[in-house]
Structure 1
Amino acid sequence: MSDEVIPEPDRIEGAPHPRETITLFGQDQAQQTFLGAFASGRLHSGWLITGPRGVGKATLAWKIATYLLAAPETGLFGDPTLQVDPNDPEARLIQAGAHPRLTVIRRPWDDKTKRLRAEITVDAVRSLKTFFHMSAADGGRRVVIVDAADELNRNAANAILKELEEPPAETTILLIAHQPSRLLPTIRSRCRELRCAPLGADDLQAALEQAGHQAQNSEALATLAGGSAGDAIRLINHDGMALYEDIVKTLEGLPQINRQAALKLAESCAGRGAETRFAMTLDLMDVFLARAARTGLMGEPHSQGAAGEARLLARISPDDRAARRWATLQQDLSNRSRHGRAVNLDPAALILDMIFKIEETAQGVAAA
């Protein structure tokens, strides 16, 4: 396979790559925090960019990288901004993926399996030695983006830690993390954190429009996406709204499930070409369980992801005891899902098993 057709693990289908995204919406505080450190002359060598998946963390990392490598004179006084003229020579090199003082560490391509590897390997991190050696001749700042640090395997994580402990001069390492708690504590302690928040409704809509998408049911989409433009685009691309409706209809009779609907849902996730639907079904079941747990603590939700969902959630999760049961189940099924995907369990069997666990929990709540 040629380089031109190797998929980019940090690109969301149906959206511009983060390096191509013109405007970053909803993360003004994170931008100002970085700019304040830059202006003060106390720039950390390691930055941990955290927050939910799809809220703009990678876009923020690329904008920081562009800002540092373009060495802007503007923005240091008055109203600072990370925006750099797209016609700036450094910015154009970055857009082309050809800047000699910028490198990206991400999951590598496996020529044997013709797939992206599941983790970032230690060899990918060791390539930094070559990058630092080759870029030293140019002088000036150097930037490393790790997308995403959650995907570093143990050896790769230890290799990144060594670079954070003794970073080369004029080097900034930007680590993107969806779940920073999974990182080595020593990695977290070596970095300054930039927290990216979920997008509000207006920012989410603006981000979708910038990516060329229009939502048919904006309220339901915003509810399921949880402030993530990336998740919203995935839902739009793969008919996720209709899929969530199917899940809710399957569960609407809880504490008894509709077994025929459950079997149909499970079978739709099996077979060649159903991989995307299978993965989205697992993700949306996780969303349902999270919303059930939240309902027990906060009451019936004001918005819903599908018709009848709010009423269903209120019935199966009426109090904080129920909330704890649903939160525990969410964690258990999340672990089961990860294990099932790792060992290639039959998708239909895994989905059915998860639905039966949901039924069992609902029956336990009803009997309490």
Structure 2
Amino acid sequence: MNRLFNLVNQQDNRQLLMNTIRNGRVANAYLFHGPEGSGQEGFALEYAAMLNCQSRENQPCGQCPSCHKMKTLEHGNIHLVFPIRTGSLEKNDPPFKNFGPDDMEEIQNCIRKKAENPYEKLCPFDGKHIPINFIREIRRKIYLTAPEPGYKVVIVFDADLMMEPAANAFLKILEEPPDKTLLILTTSNIDAILPTIRSRCQRLHFPALSTTDLGNHLRENGIREDRINLVMRLSGGDVRQAIQLKEADLGRLREMTLEALRMIAIWKIDKVYDLVNRFVTLRKENPDEFDRLMLSISFWFRDAAILKAGKPESDLVHADMQIEIRKFVDYYTELDAFGAYSAVDNCIDLISRNVYINLALVNMFFKIHNRIQPGKSQ
């Protein structure tokens, strides 16, 4: 079975989409939804390729002119809508009126990255909204004659980020779609989509990937075997995040985790407050890395509890730090690993609820230190 884009499983959904083409039952509009990284955006692109493939079998064939254009997202029938930086625009202004040549080049770079990796987010300049001008521009284009044979396909990425006027404008397109035009909305937050839009779309849910599927995909992308469990946990099943966790990132995470544990165990007050300040700075400058560090410390104590209980080593998340964790458990003979694990998880929860981060971290470090209880003198 051919695939134009490198997508992970979701075989049931793929078969369903293929059947709509074979049976001539393509709907006017679809709403692809599911957790981040489950593949709804990539399958929207794949479906567009299937519909416009010039082969009568094995769509997309990957060989015809249409497939070659789809592979680089340069097909004239495909219209992509995505969050952008918004500014002051008049009613009839194009959405990119305030973008200079460098800005437009950056957008093209983002589209190229999306073509290479369908799990990549298409969100140049960290755009927060889809403005009404973007929808008006698309509406103008799709009511024109298609530049190429086949279906005109509009794909709205992160459709939940349509501003209310944009959503209402899109609703008008849904109510009177042009012939041979397919509208696909993708979202990881279906509840944020207007009910009137949801009711006019055929919904297709993309569940989170299984650990087996994600693990196999990571192996194919060169992730070390002893780090696959960690990458899967840190990414939360999101393929995009998993692939972004390169070896260098994991090596740095390993060192940061070990250093934090050393400073907590020794407990020199000036060092502890220095550690708090470093954690706070990290959260301001790189919140994703901060989240990964907190999870890494949590997983460390989870793994320590597993080894302390004599459970299989294959269950470890930090498989690449098995030797260090074993030494830690053997040295701190009265370690309350589960208590330390709970302290970290509680701190993560408090920070997510905007509790004063410095206080939450000091409290977490103190609780961890008290649960380490060394069996030997330092």
Q: Same fold (TM over 0.5)?
A: yes
Alignment correspondent of 2:78:
102
Matched pairs, number: 308
Deviations 1:87-146 (A, max 9, x none): 211111112332111110012366379635322222122111232133446553111111
Aligned CA distance change for structure 1 residues 243 and 317 (closer, same or farther; 3 Å): closer
- Paired residues of 1:223 and 1:303 also in contact (CA < 8 A): no
Cα distance in 1 for residues equivalent to 2:173 and 2:295: 37
Alignment correspondent of 2:166:
156
Tell me whether 1:120 sits opposite 2:130 in the alignment: yes
1:197-276 map, 5 Å: 197-211=207-221, 213-214=223-224, 217-236=227-246, 239=249, 242-243=252-253, 246=256, 258-269=272-283, 275=285
Please tell me the residue identity of whatever aligns with 1:111. Answer: F
Tell me whether 1:176 sits opposite 2:190 in the alignment: no
- Give the TM-score taking structure 2 as reference length: 0.64
- Paired residues of 1:246 and 1:265 also in contact (CA < 8 A): no
What's the secondary structure of 1:74's corresponding residue?
A: coil
What's the secondary structure of 1:239's corresponding residue?
A: helix
Please tell me the residue identity of whatever aligns with 2:339. Answer: R
Aligned CA distance change for structure 1 residues 32 and 245 (closer, same or farther; 3 Å): farther
Tell me whether 1:73 sits opposite 2:56 in the alignment: yes
Aligned CA distance change for structure 1 residues 137 and 220 (closer, same or farther; 3 Å): closer
Tell me whether 1:33 sits opposite 2:16 in the alignment: yes
Alignment correspondent of 1:111:
99
Aligned CA distance change for structure 1 residues 155 and 172 (closer, same or farther; 3 Å): same
Specify every segment of 5 or more residues in structure 1 that has no aligned partner in the other structure, as ranges.
Answer: 1-19, 76-82, 292-299, 338-349, 363-368
1:1-368 map, 5 Å: 22-70=5-53, 72-75=55-58, 83-108=59-84, 111=99, 115-136=125-146, 138=148, 140-211=150-221, 213-214=223-224, 217-236=227-246, 239=249, 242-243=252-253, 246=256, 258-269=272-283, 275=285, 278-281=286-289, 283-284=291-292, 302-304=315-317, 314-315=338-339, 330=349, 333-334=351-352, 336=354, 352=358, 355=361
% same residue: 23
CA RMSD of aligned residues (A): 4.5
Aligned CA distance change for structure 1 residues 212 and 121 (closer, same or farther; 3 Å): farther
- Paired residues of 1:24 and 1:56 also in contact (CA < 8 A): yes
What's the secondary structure of 1:111's corresponding residue?
A: coil
- Give the TM-score taking structure 1 as reference length: 0.66
User: 1:164: how far off?
Assistant: 2.2
Name whichever of 138-147 and 57-66 sits farther off.
138-147
Specify every segment of 5 or more residues in structure 2 that has no aligned partner in the other structure, as ranges.
Answer: 86-97, 104-124, 300-310, 326-334, 369-378
Aligned CA distance change for structure 1 residues 104 and 262 (closer, same or farther; 3 Å): same
- Paired residues of 1:135 and 1:142 also in contact (CA < 8 A): no
Aligned CA distance change for structure 1 residues 227 and 117 (closer, same or farther; 3 Å): closer
Structure with greater Cα Rg: 2
- Paired residues of 1:53 and 1:231 also in contact (CA < 8 A): no
User: 1:212: how far off?
Assistant: 5.5
What's the secondary structure of 2:246's corresponding residue?
A: helix
- Paired residues of 1:100 and 1:135 also in contact (CA < 8 A): no
Alignment correspondent of 2:307:
none
Cα distance in 2 for residues equivalent to 1:47 and 1:289: 41
Aligned CA distance change for structure 1 residues 214 and 191 (closer, same or farther; 3 Å): farther
What's the secondary structure of 1:134's corresponding residue?
A: coil
User: 1:281: how far off?
Assistant: 3.3
- Paired residues of 1:326 and 1:361 also in contact (CA < 8 A): no
